[in-house]
Amino acid sequence: MAATALHDLFFSRLIAQERRSPLTAETYQVEARRFLEWLAAEGLELGTADSSDLARYLDKRRNSDRIDSRSTAKVISALRSFFRFAVDESIRLDNPASILEVPRRSVHLPEVLSREAVERVLDTVDSDTPLGLRDRTIFELIYSAGLRVSEAVSLNLRDLDLPGAGSPEKGGGGIARVRGKGNKERLVVFGEVAVFWLRRYLKDSRPKLMRHLHSPALFIGRSGKRLSRKGIWKNYARFTALAGTSSRLHTLRHSFATELLSGGADLRSVQELLGHSDLTTTQIYTHVDVTLLRESHRKFLPRLGKETVQRGMGK
């Protein structure tokens, strides 16, 4: 079977049989293509490659592509799925990827920005242009609702429920129906400021970007079609550079979660808002909060402690 046909059939299986999300299916398809290219370069065949070949391939990805433990786990998951597919298609009899050991994921605390830092980034966006107004709106919505980038760009107009018109001070928050990982739907809430920017975008920017086309998508690119994740990532990187920071767009989601917990929200509520299937994923933000507290302790308490000692000594 030709490689292209194999990729397409594998993608169809991921969607129809394994019930993977389109994003996961696309990622696995890319990994399968990359693995097949490596096999061809090594003079190997899919039907005869063994576990030692897979181990060499993973070593190559770690050393040449510099993938971390989390990315390695994703590659192994993709290979296991691809070899299951190969067995079902009678390309081979066994699944050598099934014995690969998934590396233990190292815990990295997510990067967060203070509210002031977020505002500095957002203020660099020129909201007087249609594209700038669109970018400011999507950033505000991601920050206000804690959305993943993929969730934000997949929103349709019908997914929004906006309150009555008003300024950020006088209006109310809104609700959106989003599709998260595993194509699971959930309701998220967002604040009055995000509502304000959404109304401006829908009135002054989106009609100009549509170019007389018709699309259900909320956020539109230059072509009048749905905005891509890569496009908004690239724009955010430019604005963070202007603001003097190097944070990624996903940092807005991390900052949202950390602010909620710092403000007293309970862990279960934050889990629901973020769309985490496992509470342990949400719990990492409690560690971030502790880290921030320790930083405050380091900055302010030494001076307070010194003053207290001096007063105790009668100085």
Return the structure tokens found at 4.
């292209």
Contact 68, 107 (CB under 8 A): no
Nearest to 12 by CA among 230, 80, 76, 4: 4
Instruction: Identify whether 226 is a catalytic site residue.
Output: no
The residue assigned the tokens 């699971």 is 184
One of 33, 84, 181, 208 is an active-site residue; which one? 181
**Which pTM value belongs to this model?**
0.60
pLDDT of residue 257: 76
End-to-end Cα distance, the chain: 86
Q: How far apart are CA 162 and CA 204, in angstroms?
A: 17
* Domains of the chain: residue spans and CATH: 3-99 (1.10.150.130), 115-279 (1.10.443.10)
pLDDT of residue 166: 47
The partner residues of 190 in beta bridges, in order of sequence, read 174
Instruction: Identify whether 250 is a catalytic site residue.
Output: yes
pLDDT of residue 84: 94
Sheet of strand 174-179: strand arrangement: 160-161, 174-179, 185-190
The residue assigned the tokens 């993973």 is 58
Q: How far apart are CA 29 and CA 9, in angstroms?
A: 10
Mean pLDDT per 10-residue interval, the chain, length 315 residues: 77 88 87 93 93 93 84 91 93 92 67 80 91 94 87 93 62 82 82 92 93 87 87 87 82 78 68 68 58 51 46 45
Q: What angle do CA 211, 214, 217 make, to 5 degrees?
A: 100
One of 80, 179, 206, 253 is an active-site residue; which one? 253
